[in-house]
């Protein structure tokens, strides 16, 4: 798709409670770019650490997909809450009204479940409050619009743990959120390249989360390569690197790291479900 002037972007709160100032700043930013913006009805709702009631969130998600004026759905922020929604969603509504659905971190749960249940490509991307309100990074913005407009993409990492090439759809996201889906039918049926990032987790938990996935036969059968983003604020960087070396030897898969898949300001946008190729430390999409 191509977003045009006066197209409407829907900003929706599906996870943690939102900061009013950041929501309003992001709305204003997109309006200065020439877009209209529609906010979900619950955007300023609060329920403990959540952006309001689960049923309201799901109703708004359905409504945003059904709204013909909304051309792209952008999540306001992450935090926590999306796994509370995944079994309440009517995926047929989404499948019948395809449009880009975008976010990262906790939103990973929805990116993967929407793809699994509908085949719709979703976007592991920057979000309204975290990326389009304050200190807007130009590379982040440009990567975002290039990806959602369906262009072929090429990214390069900084480190090869295991060289080689592999092909499959792109699939993954925030590691802890991916693992939170264990118990669901969520892993792709065909070959995929697994990408992951994380924040504020000790190395032993990163090890444990990868192990949870590697213990699933469908994951080990269909995963053909591993793409590592940032693992920020870990307790021991040398242990992390040792673990990634171990991971590459155990899986015998092509493994590359240093991609800007991250909670930091500069980040790339990755289309979940789109065909891709990992060749040493280069990633080709489309």
Q: Which of 251, 278, 273 has the alpha carbon at shortest distance from 188?
A: 273
| Residue 199, both tokens | 């924040």
Contact predicate 73/102, CB 8 Å? yes
Q: What is the DSSP string of 88-155?
A: T--HHHHHHS---EEE-GGGHHHHHHHHHHH---EEE---HHHHSSSS--HHHHHHHHHHHTT--EEE
Residue 265 falls in which region: left (phi positive, over 0), alpha (psi -120 to 50) or beta: alpha
Q: Which of 260, 24, 46 has the alpha carbon at shortest distance from 129?
A: 24
Q: What is the DSSP string of 191-251?
A: -EEEEEEEES--HHHHHHHHHHHHTSHHHHHHEEEEEEEEEET-S-HHHHHHHHHHHHHHH
CA distances to 31, 59, 173 from 91, in Å = 30, 12, 20
CA–CA gap between residue 200 and residue 235 (Å, rounded): 8
| Residue 208, both tokens | 């444990």
- Residues involved in catalysis: 105, 197, 263
């Amino acid at each position: 798709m191509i977003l045009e002037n006066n197209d409407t972007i829907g900003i929706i709160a599906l996870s943690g409670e939102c900061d009013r100032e950041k929501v309003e700043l992001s709305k204003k930013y997109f309006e200065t770019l020439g877009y209209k913006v529609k906010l979900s009805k619950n955007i300023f709702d609060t329920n403990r650490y959540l952006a309001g009631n689960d049923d309201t969130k799901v109703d708004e998600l359905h409504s945003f997909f059904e709204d013909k004026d909304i051309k792209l759905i952008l999540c306001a922020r992450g935090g926590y809450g999306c796994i509370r929604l995944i079994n309440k969603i009517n995926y047929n509504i989404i499948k019948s009204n395809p449009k880009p659905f975008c976010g990262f971190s906790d939103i990973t749960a929805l990116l993967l479940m929407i793809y699994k249940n509908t085949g719709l490509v979703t976007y592991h991307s920057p979000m309204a409050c975290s990326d389009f309100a304050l200190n807007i990074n130009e590379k982040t913005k440009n990567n975002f619009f290039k990806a959602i407009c369906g262009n072929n993409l090429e990214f390069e990492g900084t480190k090869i743990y295991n060289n080689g090439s592999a092909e499959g759809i792109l699939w993954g996201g925030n590691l802890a959120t991916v693992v939170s889906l264990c118990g669901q039918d969520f892993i792709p049926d065909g070959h995929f390249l697994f990408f992951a990032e994380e924040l504020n987790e000790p190395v032993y938990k990163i090890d444990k989360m990868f192990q949870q996935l590697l213990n699933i036969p469908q994951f080990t059968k269909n995963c053909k390569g591993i793409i590592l983003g940032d693992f920020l604020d870990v307790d021991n960087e040398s242990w992390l690197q040792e673990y990634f070396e171990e991971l590459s030897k155990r899986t015998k898969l092509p493994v590359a790291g240093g991609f800007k898949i991250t909670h930091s300001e500069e980040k790339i946008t990755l289309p979940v479900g789109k065909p891709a190729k990992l060749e040493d430390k280069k990633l080709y999409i489309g």
